[in-house]
């Protein structure tokens, strides 16, 4: 959970800094971007865990 919290903090800090520095006005809300990022991370992490488990049980 600590890694996820760190990633989330870095993501939010980076995104907030980008918006402030560039006066970026995205059409997608920050929360929608955050949700899609977390969904992607969860999916790729789950796939990596499944792959690692299947490789260790095959050995």
> How does pLDDT run across 4-57, given as a tens digit for each residue?
666 666 666 666 666 665 566 678 887 888 888 889 888 999 898 898 888 887
Q: Which residues contact 18 (CB under 8 A, 6 or more apart)?
A: 24
How many helices and strands (H and E) does the chain possess? 2, 0
Rg (CA), the chain: 16
Model-level pTM? 0.49
pLDDT at 11: 63
Domain count for the chain: 1
pLDDT at 38: 87
| Cα angle: 12, vertex 42, 26; to 5 degrees | 35
Range of the domain at 20: 2-58
């Amino acid at each position: 959970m600590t890694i996820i919290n760190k990633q989330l903090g870095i993501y939010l800090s980076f995104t907030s800094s980008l918006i402030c520095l560039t006066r970026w006005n995205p059409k997608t809300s920050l929360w929608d971007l955050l949700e899609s990022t977390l969904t992607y991370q969860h999916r790729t992490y789950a796939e990596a865990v499944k792959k690692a488990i299947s490789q260790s049980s095959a050995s």
